[in-house]
Amino acid sequence: MSSFSWQTHEYAHRERSQDWFWVVGIIAGAVAITAVLFGNILFAVLVVIGAFVLCLFAARRPGVVTVEIAEKFVRVENVVYPFKELKSYWIDPEHFDGARLILEQKRIFMPHVMIPMDIADMEHVKAIMDPRLPMVEFKENPFQEFIERLGF
């Protein structure tokens, strides 16, 4: 088998209540007011803009992307990850948002790529990835998991 592809959502979407948006607004407002009181208006503006963008992104539904694993690369929609730029991979079948393929890149900034997948595709993915990359178990940062469980 030289290639395998599937379609998946960009990320796991969670419905957020109005209360979630109110909490984000109240926290951002409190931080912005505190920043103004300390004379840091630029930080206050940055916090307000950041909270607004966070709310826009949280309300947005994920698009559907095509993932392809071929002989020399993994492609997620229009982004190509050549195997020569990857260190390892891991399939996490027990993540609370569903199974996902994790690619570890050789670069320092944003080294992990998380790709949602169907658990039924696990054997197909392993058959293509095993000859090209080592499978190394990935332990997620506890803070990252905590943030994901909060809905961010």
Contact indicator for 44, 36 with CB cutoff of 8 Å = yes
- Domain boundary assignment for the chain: 4-11+63-150, 18-59
The tens digit of pLDDT for each residue in 25-38 reads 999 999 999 999 99
The tens digit of pLDDT for each residue in 10-24 reads 877 778 889 989 999
Contact indicator for 125, 4 with CB cutoff of 8 Å = yes
pTM score above 0.75:
no
Q: How far apart are CA 109 and CA 45, in angstroms?
A: 26
In the sheet that holds 64-69, the strands lie side by side as: 4-9, 64-69, 73-76, 79-82
Q: How far apart are CA 50 and CA 151, in angstroms?
A: 16
The tens digit of pLDDT for each residue in 89-131 reads 988 887 777 788 889 988 888 788 888 888 777 888 888 888 8
In CATH terms, the fold of domain 4-11+63-150 is PH-domain like (2.30.29)
Grade residue 1 by pLDDT with cuts at 50, 70 and 90: low
Backbone dihedral region of 83: left (phi > 0), alpha (psi from -120 to 50 degrees) or beta? Answer: alpha
